[in-house]
Amino acid sequence: MSNIKKFAYTTGDLFTLSGNYVLSGKYTGYYNIANNQPYVGKFTQDIPLNVDSNVYSAVVCSDLFFNRLPGENFSLTYSLSDFIFQPGEFINSSALDNKLAKMYINYLDTYRACFMASSNLPYKFVNVFSVQYTASGYQLSASSGNIGNYVYPLSTINPAFTRISKIAFGADIYTPNYTLIFANPTNLVTYRVLSGFTTLNPLFSSQYVETNTPDYGVLTFNDITSISLYNTSLFVCDSGSNTVYGYDASGVLQEDIALQNKFVLVNSVNGTQGGFSNATLVCASSALVYVYDAGTQTVFYYDYNFNLINSYKNSNLFATSQPVCLAYYQVYDQLYILTQDYNLVILDNQANATVIQLPMNVMQQGEVALKMIFSNSNSDIFYLLTNYNLYKRFVSNPINNIGNYSFVNNITGTNTNNYVGNLYDVSILNTLYNSDQIALYGFDQIINYNEVTLFNSIVK
């Protein structure tokens, strides 16, 4: 299991750098906590940080979280009975130290309760990518919104685009540009998104599995139901052919001319080879590929060469509670399985399971879960997408919402479908900024937001 407990961003009021570092002094940027010690960055423990001695930093460097929900009452870890010496209990220095330690935890609980995440969502609307008519015809373009306008569906520019298409955003580590990947049922379509999210340039579109060979091979996609992009590795689950494909996407993400801006097919596994009968979902970590088989209600763990490592089967739950998303949580090397009716199955790296039922009383009639994604700027935040809404929640306190997004007509246009919902998919960009850059596929367009993950102080 990863020894990283949490990561977040500091604006310079928590830690300092000292020694032979260029940035010596007050530290601003991402940090992670491992064994109560803070380090520079999200996932490495190469450069230690010095802790400013205050209560806030004591919470940050502990196993505790600032995770109070709006309007939620708070409770203390220990009650009065924990501090009263019972008959026959020895009174010595060890017993006193134990009770003082409990008092300190209660003090931290009281302090933590003074901080509450904002429920005012979204924090900032950026723009939309929508189909617009230009002198060159219909094309996907950036705009500031669609004030009361009808929005053309994406199928206007390509019949392969559907409302069940999947999206993934990837960052170029060498430039400020991004890549938008559309996985439609029968093809992959990619766009280059220039810095500032103001320009989209089409890269390539292919219905063929092998996009980097001169003749494109002979295999075509039949029914893509899930994709997963981890760093530069792209995995595509084609349920129609019961096959999972693994690609090296670095040539596309990093604008490598030598690789012709194409995905390089590295490996694949079909049902006969992998032991599954109806693959529908895929997810990846740095070392493993996770595939959900709806036919046997089993999640399979493979390495990148598609050698079987482990599996998790739960027919009792998955036969009636359909999994809709696999999400990898890097902080503790866990796989989250989200079902359509809001069950969360959390698997550790040995496939041991914890099951949580999220309450449905705040959901609309007919509102079903579609996807969950973890924040890139705060390890204690995740987003839950349904066909009607996007919710923000704490990983450490996932039962209820921090808040939910509100969609207004001057952004979304007039496209609404109250019967099945208006939202289809969501992706987060992996950036170095103190916010989550969210791309929401809904209302027949891509709506881009910036979402902060710091806290407002509210004394109760």
Read off the CATH number of the domain in which 306 is found: 2.130.10.10
Q: Could you tell me if 51 and 13 are in contact, meaning their C-beta atoms sit under 8 angstroms apart?
A: no
Angle at 302 between CA 301 and CA 305, to 5 degrees: 175
Give me 331's structure tokens. 């902080």
Please compute the mean of the pLDDT values over residues 319-326 and round it to a whole number.
97
Same domain (yes/no): 105, 165: no
Domain containing 311: what range? 124-457
pLDDT digits (tens, 9 = 90+) for 237-246: 999 999 999 9
Q: Which residues pair with 233 in a beta bridge?
A: 230, 248
pLDDT digits (tens, 9 = 90+) for 127-164: 899 998 888 889 998 888 765 677 889 999 989 999 99
Q: Alpha-carbon distance 241 to 186, whole Å?
A: 11
Same domain (yes/no): 371, 231: yes
Q: Could you tell me if 249 and 258 are in contact, meaning their C-beta atoms sit under 8 angstroms apart?
A: no
pLDDT digits (tens, 9 = 90+) for 5-43: 899 999 888 899 876 665 568 898 999 999 889 999 998
Last residue of one domain, picked from the residues 71, 95, 116 = 116
Instruction: Give residue 4's pLDDT.
Output: 64
Classify residue 81 by its DSSP letter. G
* C-alpha Rg value of the chain to the nearest Å: 24
Last residue of one domain, picked from the residues 116, 151, 181 = 116
Q: Alpha-carbon distance 27 to 5, whole Å?
A: 20
Q: Could you tell me if 374 and 382 are in contact, meaning their C-beta atoms sit under 8 angstroms apart?
A: yes
Instruction: Give residue 148's pLDDT.
Output: 60
Last residue of one domain, picked from the residues 59, 92, 116 = 116
State the DSSP H helix or E strand holding residue 193, giving kind and residue range, or none if neither.
strand 187-193
Same domain (yes/no): 197, 259: yes
Can you list the positions of beta strands (E) in 46-176?
Answer: 50-51, 115-116, 124-134, 137-143, 166-171
Q: Give CA separation, 314 vs 244, 318, 406, in Å.
A: 21, 6, 36
Same domain (yes/no): 313, 434: yes
Instruction: Give residue 1's pLDDT.
Output: 39
Same domain (yes/no): 78, 164: no
Q: Alpha-carbon distance 163 to 194, whole Å?
A: 25
Same domain (yes/no): 211, 296: yes
The answer on pLDDT for 460 being more than 50 is: no
pLDDT digits (tens, 9 = 90+) for 247-289: 999 988 887 766 667 899 999 999 999 999 999 999 999 999 9
Same domain (yes/no): 175, 33: no
Same domain (yes/no): 311, 405: yes
- Residue 272's Cβ-count burial label (10 Å; 0-12, 13-18, 19+) is exposed
Number of domains in the chain: 2
174 confidence band (pLDDT: 50, 70, 90): confident
Same domain (yes/no): 101, 215: no
Instruction: Give residue 87's pLDDT.
Output: 86
Same domain (yes/no): 90, 222: no
State the DSSP H helix or E strand holding residue 204, giving kind and residue range, or none if neither.
strand 200-206
Same domain (yes/no): 227, 327: yes
Average pLDDT score, the chain: 88
Q: Give CA separation, 242 vs 99, 192, 270, 314, 318, in Å.
A: 59, 30, 6, 20, 19
Angle at 354 between CA 348 and CA 358, to 5 degrees: 125
Maximum mean pLDDT: which of 92-106, 340-354, 426-440: 340-354
Q: Could you tell me if 351 and 344 are in contact, meaning their C-beta atoms sit under 8 angstroms apart?
A: no
Maximum mean pLDDT: which of 2-11, 209-218, 382-391: 382-391
Same domain (yes/no): 212, 230: yes
